[in-house]
Amino acid sequence: MLAGHGIATVGSGEHAVEQAVVRALNLDALARVNVEQALLGGRASDLDDEDIAELPDLGSSFNDLNLWRHHVARLRLAGLDLD
């Protein structure tokens, strides 16, 4: 990793900004989990084909938009409305 180089995420269509923000937040969360696991001496394992086959395909925009709404609701509860 290169310190201070940041990340780039993109979205598409009508909700491109929301998707890009949620994808950046997801990347940050996954990176933090991986760092914690490494500090504890572990290593993430790959999913095998059987496990992948069991995962539902809800489409990324479905999940991205629901998570966006979740974050907006949390901000509103904290008194930090985006409107």
Each residue of 24-36: b (16+ CB within 10 Å) or e?
beeeeeeeeeeee
pLDDT tens sequence for the chain (83 residues):
567 778 889 998 998 999 999 999 999 998 999 999 999 999 888 889 999 899 887 776 668 888 999 999 999 999 997 77
Q: Is pTM, for the whole model, over 0.75? A: no
Coil/strand/helix, residue 36? helix
